[in-house]
Structure 1
Amino acid sequence: MKKLVALSALAVLPFFHSATAQELTPDIINGADVSILQTGHPAQTSPQPDPAIIRLQVLLDRAGVSPGVIDGLDGANLKKAIAAFEAMQRLPVDGKLDQEVAKRVADGQQVIGPYKVEPDDVADLVEAIPEDYALQAEMKNLNYTSVQEKLSERFHMDIDLLRTLNPGSKFAPGDTIAVAIVGAPRTGAVKRIEARRDAGEVIAFAEDGSIIAAYPATIGSQDNPSPEGRHKINGVARNPKYEYNPKVNFQQGKNKKRLTLPSGPNNPVGSVWIDLSEPTYGIHGTPEPSKIDKSGSHGCVRLTNWDVEELASMVKPGVEVDFVK
């Protein structure tokens, strides 16, 4: 195993990976010092999860600034989370980890811990989710396809990282596995939301203007732009069905008729739909959390399922949503 490179947080040096994916263990990750990470380093030719980045992502997640999936990789969503944390802490905002950010985000607690797989974790799985909406519409539900997928979302992790941390595990009831120790969902009353299109980010504000939470987001696309201006939340639907109408939204494959897709986390809008006053638009979840802000949406605001569930618990009808550039 390569030795951790003890770089100063302010040093203008590339960041070297401290361990290969095969060498990752909870002890390595829990011992990683986030202050060695300098974001903005040159892209690695073969990126692999890094213990220091895993630790930083978990700490940011606990602080209420979501890095998206915890995958141990540097990237735009990590930089956005650092910048949101700086804004939350009223620090100069540049999206780079420095000594002050490292000091404030650290909580002295482990970031990887044990979890015992329960019988309920293997219940209500489906064999596969077909891509064709017509076939999805014939299913009873669109639940998770594996225990790994279910637990990776519960602990805000990339499924590949979960597997890497638990080589050889069958994820069967009674097995003890290593997972990210994420924080409790944020609480509070969100009074205003900014959907920042160019940044690919959603910011939730309290009545006094302080930031309650921040999330990476997919906000429309070039072919299907998001709305502009100010809108309001009409309401929240949890575990929603999805009404597919090619005449209103888009055509998926050869499906030219209206379809009702069953509910489930692998539904096209995920586990929550936050309805907006602009018809057919909303803030919703996704069956593919690793693609947040990496592929376009059909005009809506797409978050990970766990992020939109948290946001939905803090909003009420009438909350303003500003789409800003």
Structure 2
Amino acid sequence: MVMFLLSSRPSLVSRLLAISLCCTALGLAGGAALAQTAKAGAKTSATAGFDMDAFNNASDSPLLKSGSKGPAVARAQILMDRAWFSCGEIDGRYAANMQRMVKAFQTARGLKVTGTVTAETWKSLREDSAPLLATYTVTEKDTAGPFEKTPADMAERAKMKALVFESADEALAEKFHTSIAYLKQLNGGRKVDAGKDIVVPNVGSATAPVKAASIEIDKSQRVLYVLDAEKRPVAAFPISIGNEKNDPLPVGMMAIKNEVKNPGFTYNPKLLKNAPKDAQKVDVAPGPNNPVGSIWLGLTKPHWGIHGTSNPSNVGHSETNGCIHLTNWDAERLSTLVKAGFKVDVKL
């Protein structure tokens, strides 16, 4: 099993162990803040030639399936994100994560489970009638930085005072649960400047589930479910997990042990099977691009935890060297639902 040592900020007493090889945390503004600054349903488009009203007011219910792409897919992704059945990045593409999460949503809503967005699924999703896109005024804070490239070498990362965002584009994409490429597409590739309005997915109006009681992880589907007391799913997120040869996620019952916000990270090459021979043990400072994310949920099985990743586009598609990786915004949302003592049942 691959293991890393996780260290909290000086004010935190405990030092934890984490499992991860390639994971970076990116911050997320809370839904309330987004709701205050994103102007849902604004009539004036932030981008010349883009009709936000047409996107928001579309009422068609096309059958969406693997390989589908375009505005209808993005609309479904936003609605699913707000229902707490995340597809990962909102990007207008119907890939494996979306198929998995559509099945999860259909199961939770008592619909026919097809893995495709059917007319029945559209009807259930559209019980949420809030606008799907909004305009957001970029703030001075959004563009002030500091921004700095994250080195690939862990020793170089250890020299940084904080693992900051690489760009304002990255920070804003994380804030609105989308890919950098899709955010640019919505805005015609315009440069992000303070004081300017941009078009963003309206993800700030989602209401969190209130009956969370436990977690179930489906290894084969790479889905983390949040269940209520009757074992019914109230939320679900795509995940990446360790592969079966090197660091398989153990099947069976665990529990949430603790939570560390904005953790530091200790890289120990002796605990890695494929670390460079000359790699040294180093401590990496906290920050949005920290290797273990902005939230660490420790498990009762030693050295295992749930946290974010450096590449949200990889979640659900790539294998890790251990732990349970979510996009950073989903890891943060999960942390608002769970608490110490929550059972975590890992199933094949």
TM-score for both structures, normalised by structure 1? 0.86
Q: Is the 8 A contact 2:145 2:168 kept in 1?
A: no
Instruction: Give the 5 Å matches for 1:257-296.
Output: 257-296=280-319
Tell me whether 30-39 or 172-181 shows the greater mean CA deviation.
30-39
Given candidates 212, 216, 240, the residue that maps to 2:234 is: 212
Tell me, yes or no, if structure 1 residue 39 matches structure 2 residue 61.
Answer: no
**Which residue number corresponds to residue 242 of structure 1?**
265
Q: Deviations over 1:44-97 (max 9, x none)?
A: 8xxxx5100010000111111001100000111111121111111122322222
**Which residue number corresponds to residue 9 of structure 1?**
none
Tell me whether 109-118 or 181-190 shows the greater mean CA deviation.
181-190
C-alpha separation between the residues in 1 aligned to 2:137 and 2:200? 10
C-alpha separation between the residues in 2 aligned to 1:62 and 1:34? 19
C-alpha separation between the residues in 2 aligned to 1:285 and 1:291? 11
Instruction: Give the 5 Å matches for 1:1-325.
Output: 25-33=51-59, 35-40=61-66, 43=67, 50-106=70-126, 107-182=128-203, 183-184=205-206, 186-222=208-244, 223-254=246-277, 256-325=279-348
Q: Are the structure 2 counterparts of residues 322 and 23 from structure 1 closer, same or farther at C-alpha, using a change threshold of 3 Å?
A: farther
Q: Are the structure 2 counterparts of residues 282 and 55 from structure 1 closer, same or farther at C-alpha, using a change threshold of 3 Å?
A: same
C-alpha separation between the residues in 1 aligned to 2:200 and 2:276? 37
Offset of residue 28 of structure 1: 4.4
C-alpha separation between the residues in 1 aligned to 2:72 and 2:279? 48
Q: Are the structure 2 counterparts of residues 224 and 158 from structure 1 closer, same or farther at C-alpha, using a change threshold of 3 Å?
A: same
Q: Is the 8 A contact 1:126 1:142 kept in 2?
A: no
Q: Is the 8 A contact 2:145 2:167 kept in 1?
A: no
Q: Deviations over 1:240-297 (max 9, x none)?
A: 1112122234444455322111112222222111001111110001121111011111
Q: Is the 8 A contact 2:64 2:94 kept in 1?
A: no
C-alpha separation between the residues in 2 aligned to 1:34 and 1:81? 21
Determine helix, strand or coil for the equivalent of 1:218: coil
Tell me whether 116-125 or 230-239 shows the greater mean CA deviation.
116-125
Corresponding letter in the other structure for 2:56:
N
Q: Are the structure 2 counterparts of residues 155 and 103 from structure 1 closer, same or farther at C-alpha, using a change threshold of 3 Å?
A: same
Q: Are the structure 2 counterparts of residues 203 and 23 from structure 1 closer, same or farther at C-alpha, using a change threshold of 3 Å?
A: farther
Corresponding letter in the other structure for 1:83:
K
TM-score for both structures, normalised by structure 2? 0.80
Q: Is the 8 A contact 2:217 2:347 kept in 1?
A: yes
Ranges in structure 1 where 5+ consecutive residues have no aligned partner: 1-21
Tell me whether 105-114 or 62-71 shows the greater mean CA deviation.
105-114
Runs of 4+ in 1 over 6 A off after TM superposition: none
Q: How many residues align?
A: 298
Q: Is the 8 A contact 1:233 1:276 kept in 2?
A: yes
C-alpha separation between the residues in 1 aligned to 2:123 and 2:263? 41
C-alpha separation between the residues in 1 aligned to 2:319 and 2:278? 20
Q: Deviations over 1:89-136 (max 9, x none)?
A: 122322222221111101333211100001111234322011111101
Q: Is the 8 A contact 2:147 2:168 kept in 1?
A: no
Q: Are the structure 2 counterparts of residues 186 and 252 from structure 1 closer, same or farther at C-alpha, using a change threshold of 3 Å?
A: farther
**Root-mean-square deviation over aligned CA pairs:** 2.0
Corresponding letter in the other structure for 1:160:
A
Q: Deviations over 1:8-43 (max 9, x none)?
A: xxxxxxxxxxxxxx9865344324446113314xx4
Ranges in structure 2 where 5+ consecutive residues have no aligned partner: 1-47
